[in-house]
Amino acid sequence: MKRRSGLAAVVLLAAMLVGCAGSPTGRGPAGPSATPTATPTLPPGVVVTREAAIVVAAVNGAGTATVIDARVGRIGDFDPNQQVVPADRLVWAITFSAGNSSTDFVDAVTGEWLEGMSPAPAMIIGSLSTAGLAQASALPGPTSLTTGELIVAVPDGWRFYAMSQVSSFTSVTGVLANFDLGAACGLPDISGGCLQNFTLRPGQALVFLGSAAFPGWTVDGMKPAGGWSALIAGLPASLTTSSSDLPYGASQNRRWQIARQDSEDNRYTVEGYLGSDAAGLAEQVDAIAKGVTLVHPIVPLPTGSSGTAAAAHAVVTALASLRATATGGTGASFYACFPTTPGTARDGTITDSPSGLISAPLPVTCRTDVAATDAQAWRLTLRVSWTVAPTRAAGSMSVMVLVAPDGTASSVTTGGDPLPGSP
Mean pLDDT of 127-134: 30
pLDDT value at residue 59: 85
pLDDT value at residue 313: 94
Where does the pLDDT of residue 10 fall: very low under 50, low under 70, confident under 90, or very high at 90 and above? very low
Tell me the helix, strand and coil percentages in the chain, rounded to 5.
20, 35, 45
What are 144-203's pLDDT values in tens digits?
888 889 999 999 989 887 776 777 788 888 889 898 776 555 544 333 355 766 789 999
What are 365-420's pLDDT values in tens digits?
999 999 999 999 999 999 999 999 998 999 999 999 999 888 888 778 888 999 99
Mean pLDDT of 77-101: 70
Long-range contacts of 86-91 (CB under 8 A, 24+ apart): 90/45, 90/46
β-bridge partners, 152: 145
Question: 345 or 279, which is more confident?
Answer: 345
pLDDT value at residue 335: 95
Compute, in degrees rounded to 10, the torsion defined by CA atoms 319, 332, 214, 298.
-20
Question: 13 or 269, which is more confident?
Answer: 269
pLDDT value at residue 57: 86
Question: 307 or 131, which is more confident?
Answer: 307
Nearest to 337 by CA among 327, 347, 352: 347
What are 59-72's pLDDT values in tens digits?
886 666 777 778 88
Contact at 8 Å (CB) between 357 and 420? no
Q: Which amino acid is at 228?
A: W
Mean pLDDT of 237-252: 94
Mean pLDDT of 36-43: 59
Q: Which of 226-235, 299-308, 312-321, 406-415 has the lowest average pLDDT?
A: 406-415
Q: Residue 88: pLDDT above 80?
A: yes
Cα 361 vs. chain centroid, distance in angstroms? 47
pLDDT value at residue 80: 59
Mean pLDDT of 346-369: 95
Average pLDDT value over all residues in the chain = 79
DSSP H/E element including 17? helix 7-20
- The angle at the Cα of 344, spanning 343 to 349, to the nearest 5 degrees, equals 135
Mean pLDDT of 320-326: 92
Q: Which of 82-91, 131-140, 360-369 has the lowest average pLDDT?
A: 131-140
What is this structure's pTM?
0.65
pLDDT value at residue 28: 35
pLDDT value at residue 393: 94
pLDDT value at residue 115: 66
pLDDT value at residue 251: 96
Mean pLDDT of 104-124: 67
β-bridge partners, 96: 67, 102
Q: Which of 16-20, 55-59, 82-86 has the lowest average pLDDT?
A: 16-20
Q: Residue 228: pLDDT above 80?
A: yes
